[in-house]
Structure 1
Amino acid sequence: GVDELFSIRYGSGKGMDKGDGTKTDFFYATLNQLKNSFLSTSAAAIIIAGPGFVKNDFFSFLKEKDSELAKRARTEQVSSVGTAGFIEVLKRGAVERLTKEERLTKEVRLLDKLMEEISKEKDGKAVYGKEEVRNALRYGAIETLLVSDEKLMASETEEGGGEKGREQIESMLRDVESGRGKIVVFSSEFEPGKRLNGLGGIAALLRFKIE
């Protein structure tokens, strides 16, 4: 369902162009509520939608006042406000596009970190390949497990195939979670996932270096 976390009303878009501070007051009030809602819901991203140019003005205001939060935001043109505008955002596929962008950004960042650690021959806190990851798991060293969706699907043909292969990869994932590690599944559709497949489809960022 849809939850309305807050509502702020300040006249029309034209009314906010008079230079009497109304627009600035509205933007500050919206930003304060937006910050609180973003943190309390652990949201991944923000879509600023609406007709006209007010959404663009607010986005500029957001970039000036909170550049980090602005990095998580996108604008979307719609013809309505309120619930009708929200439904229009969904129908346009804006949420799906933003989700894909956020996923790709996260995968790029993690793979860059992985390659950076791998390049540190003596002090690198990363491993790749099935056996190396298993070894790191025995030490409880895995902070973040990176695995491609292609690797997960291929598990049934590995490790003896069928149920055995799937059970072994699922056991590995459970062990990572029980050790308070994170699991990120990469899409083989994107470049980071393809690069991860080139490393065997599975790798890990470590809490500490292991020999």
Structure 2
Amino acid sequence: MKVLLKELKKWSAPATVLLSLYIPPGRPIADVLNNLRQEASISQNIKLKRTRDAVESAISAAIDRLTSIPKVPDNGLVLFCGENFETEEFKCYMFSPPEKVTVYFYRTDKFFHLEFLEDMVEENEVYGLIIVERDTATIGILRGTRIEELEEIEGYVPGKHMMGGQSQRRIDRIIEELYHDFLKEVGEKVNSYFLPYLEEKKLKGILVGGPGYAKNDFYEGDYMEYRLKKLVLEPLIDVGDQGEAGLREMVMKAKDLLKNQKYVEVENLLDEIKYHLAKDDGLVVYGKEEIKKAMDMGALDALIVHEDNEEDSLTKEAEKFGTKVYVINDEVPEAEWIKKTFGGSIGKLRFRIE
């Protein structure tokens, strides 16, 4: 599915000729065919011949494929048909997706409508990430092999002033109110970002970190919605940086709390690969032919493949041999290194081979 979506995203047209059709389970094929024939009739009114022919071809291809099946499968059907004007290539895909189609959707556009499928290929397990300082915070998520920074928040909380007497107490009170207001703002942002994942039952846990006491004040206070607070993983993490660097630091420091999480597994595997490369002990393999040979021998323990280099047949075959396969993108720090140095794929062997 990921490979197909990546291919379909490349398609575009100068006119609304690319057909996208989503059919939910239970919808009679005859009704859908009637709708498509009506659309074909309406397309006769398109003035530009090239556009009219392209739309008619897309609708005709969809009708041909739908007439070949007796009923809509349990998860529904999806069709993408159309001509790539740049290459003059015509394709029509019809398949039942991994999750149920919930809407009936038909449109011809300048691009294929993939938004309903993209959620299906997203990682279902999400971890919330929060770094809190006295006047700065970063909110992000960990999903699969990706860390995404959602927002960096800055507030104004001055340091302590030494004036003495009534003035000192008044200033301290104002500073504490500013500090409380900042933590409250962070909590409201956290709720707005994380509650939708909680409602979708995708949020598996939350990491809270920071360089000082602010992380404890944030966690112990009533700043997060109570259901989110229950998902905070302890202990809280000491983190020196904010932003994306801080999020990565926090995730790697929380390895023990995130066992079996893909990002952590990939980083651990990369550490192992670097170790074996440094030792030059023959337990690292790269290059398509060499990887295939190791896989056929049952020697390939784990494989990292960049999504630009992913071959569906290779990853499926590797999984049959009990090889763990990790598909990464450019958001993994070492992605560029894997692409440029090793051609986009690198593996660790169970044992050395000649």
Q: Which has the larger strand fraction?
A: 2
Band of TM-score, shorter chain = 0.3 to 0.5
The two structures have a TM-score, normalised by structure 1, of: 0.46
Larger radius of gyration: 2
Flag the structure with higher helix content. 1
Q: Could you state the TM-score of these two structures normalised by the residue count of structure 2?
A: 0.29
| Greater RCO structure (CA 8 Å; 6+ sep) | 1
